[in-house]
Chain A
Amino acid sequence: MRPLIVVEGRDEEWVHAVHQVRAVGWPVSSGLCDHAAFPVTGCSGVVCSAVVSDSAGAARAVLAGVAGHGLVVLAGAGRDVNDRLCDDLRHLGELDHRVGVRRTPVLTAEQHALLDGLRAGEQIGTLAERLFLSRRSVERRLALLRELFAVDGNVALAAAYGTQLAEVPVPGPDQPGRGVAFP
């Protein structure tokens, strides 16, 4: 199953969703191909991240979905366009429509990088080196993350982050490379 995520909210929430998708192993491509020249040919297990601000953008997103791509879309068009977009994507797979208040924290790119490292078992020193931070900065940032996730200790933090990532489908053994090719 591929991710079909529509975010109606702040840019940060969309960026967070993109990082989540990337963190579970999907290749993410910025923008949508121009599917104006239908038929769409070929596809891969790529997730497209894009901002949809009008009906033409919504059509491109839906056609990318029809072609088999995953999507992480920031929906900023009018209510009608956003509703139709969600409606269509529900017909293509399981839609993760992120609107309204969410229970789990929205993370920045740096926070994702820290937590990805933590999940992979990296130590503070390694994290500091990889992210060009001091050990003290890494510790401060992890303390803030523990507060955000309301957990004690970095093991619990990594587990909580893993639970949050479970919102997003992971690539299956038959992906990338699935999809519908139109003649």
Chain B
Amino acid sequence: MEMRGGAPGSGLVGRRAEFAQLVRSIDEPGGVGAVIGEPGIGKTALVHRLLAEAGEGRGHLGGALATVSQISYLALRRAVAAGLPSGAWVREPAHVAAAVAAHVADGVLAVEDLQWADPGTLAVLELLAGRVRLVLSVRSGDTGSEPALALVRRMDATEVLLRPLETADALTLLDSRAPGTPPNAAAALLHRAAGNPMLLVELAAGEERVASVVLGLLARLRPLPQLARQSMTLLALAGGELPIELVAGVTELQASELVEVGDGRVVARHALLLDAIVERIDPARRRGLRAALAAVLGPSGGPTPTAGDDRLRELRAAVAVLSTGAEAGDDAAGASALDAATGAGAGGLTARELDVVALVGEGLTDRAIANRLGLSVRTVETHLASARRKLGAGNRRQAALLAGADR
């Protein structure tokens, strides 16, 4: 596709290669390019630049929105609303696709945030592949990301993955937004932004923006499974890095781009997020949890702890109550779980007790648990009562929650 004057992608700090890749993806009519990455990584900037260079009247920009994701064809309506009669939007996807294709013709249709698109929009886009030039964007790690990425793959789109900016590029961006930032302050900003352009720009705008940035990062934890969220708490307590054997939910954490994995270690990317998680834990508990974590990790150079380590299970139980029981104001349960984790109270659960509460967490009855584990119902009841007592749980569900077994 021919781009109008100027150097293609000029001004796109650290994204020239990705921009060229995106342009190539729609060289031919019917080509599809998809920009994929975490929130704030620069997907929108890339798409907007491409449309700007496509020329006046040739670009059609729409996008889905999380709050109103239920509205049919919203993402497409935002792109081509003015060109289609209102009656077009109550038709079946095939009719809508034909109308949109005729309207876009040899231009470019860009649809952002596919992870929030309604089923009608997704169906239309699939029908448009091969018929018009399509540029899509997908946020990684959101609830709708997987189906959106599956669609991108079915469409045989060129996937343009946006990674964190290199340090030199981040510095260039910072210089353009906050010229004259002293070197120490710049280094601190780059560290906190972790290569994310939006975070960098927000943080450079002043300390008042930090709370908003932190809320945005915490929001990225919400779609993750409970075990992955607990792992982020453990990572936060550990200072941001743990052996991979100790981190449950690594796949989900990687997909959300909150961690990086290498050399058998999981490393959290966002120091701001880690600080926010730790700050939300009562200081006394924080100390206890860190001591428990240190006990699990053992001395430097010692044997690598394993996921089956009872102390790790107990630690997870304490972390679980911080993220679940604590929300319900169940302070006593939290303290009890912490005691178990730190060895200061009634002690941890036995392996059998953990097995029982794990199955409770899956919703099994005592009889079903007994059958599964080859025990009598009475023995199961005994294990469960003991686990409840140790965890300070008032009922079966609390016990499962406290043991981190509730999925």
Q: How large is the interface on B (under 10, 10 to 19, 20 to 34, 35 or more residues)?
A: 20 to 34
Q: 22 A-B pairs, CB-CB below 8 angstroms?
A: A38-B71, A39-B81, A39-B86, A39-B89, A59-B68, A62-B67, A66-B68, A79-B219, A80-B219, A82-B215, A84-B67, A86-B212, A88-B68, A91-B63, A99-B215, A100-B211, A100-B212, A103-B206, A103-B207, A182-B86, A183-B82, A183-B86
Structural contact, B71 and A88, CB atoms closer than 8 A: no
Q: For chain A, residues 68 to 108, give those with C-beta under 8 angstroms from any C-beta of chain B.
A: 79-88, 91, 97, 99-103
Q: Give chain A residues whose Cβ lies under 8 Å from the Cβ of B298.
A: none
Please report the total number of A residues contacting B with Cβ < 8 Å: 30
Structural contact, B208 and A91, CB atoms closer than 8 A: no
Which listed residue (B66, B68, B112, B216) contacts A63, Cβ 8 A?
Answer: B68
Q: Give chain B residues whose Cβ lies under 8 Å from the Cβ of A91.
A: 44, 63, 65, 112-113
Structural contact, A83 and B215, CB atoms closer than 8 A: yes
Nearest CB on A from B24, distance (A):
26
CA distance A180 to B77 in the complex (A): 11
A158 within 8 A of partner (CB): no
A44 within 8 A of partner (CB): no
Structural contact, A182 and B65, CB atoms closer than 8 A: no
Structural contact, A181 and B66, CB atoms closer than 8 A: no
Q: Give chain A residues whose Cβ lies under 8 Å from the Cβ of B216.
A: 83, 86-87
Chain A residues within CB distance 8 Å of chain B = 38-39, 55, 58-59, 61-63, 66, 79-88, 91, 97, 99-103, 180-183
Structural contact, B212 and A183, CB atoms closer than 8 A: no
B85 within 8 A of partner (CB): yes
Structural contact, A85 and B67, CB atoms closer than 8 A: yes
Q: Give chain B residues whose Cβ lies under 8 Å from the Cβ of A58.
A: 67
Nearest CB on A from B38, distance (A):
13
B332 within 8 A of partner (CB): no
Q: Give chain A residues whose Cβ lies under 8 Å from the Cβ of B74.
A: 38
Closest 9 interchain pairs by CB? A100-B211, A97-B212, A183-B86, A83-B219, A84-B66, A88-B65, A62-B67, A99-B211, A58-B67
B45 within 8 A of partner (CB): no
CA distance A183 to B212 in the complex (A): 35
CA distance A79 to B85 in the complex (A): 38
Q: For chain B, residues 248 to 303, give those with C-beta under 8 angstroms from any C-beta of chain A.
A: none
CA distance A79 to B222 in the complex (A): 10
Structural contact, A88 and B77, CB atoms closer than 8 A: no
Structural contact, B65 and A62, CB atoms closer than 8 A: yes
Q: For chain B, residues 182 to 208, give those with C-beta under 8 angstroms from any C-beta of chain A.
A: 206-208
B78 within 8 A of partner (CB): yes
Q: Give chain B residues whose Cβ lies under 8 Å from the Cβ of A61.
A: 67
Nearest CB on A from B9, distance (A):
22
Q: Give chain A residues whose Cβ lies under 8 Å from the Cβ of B113.
A: 91
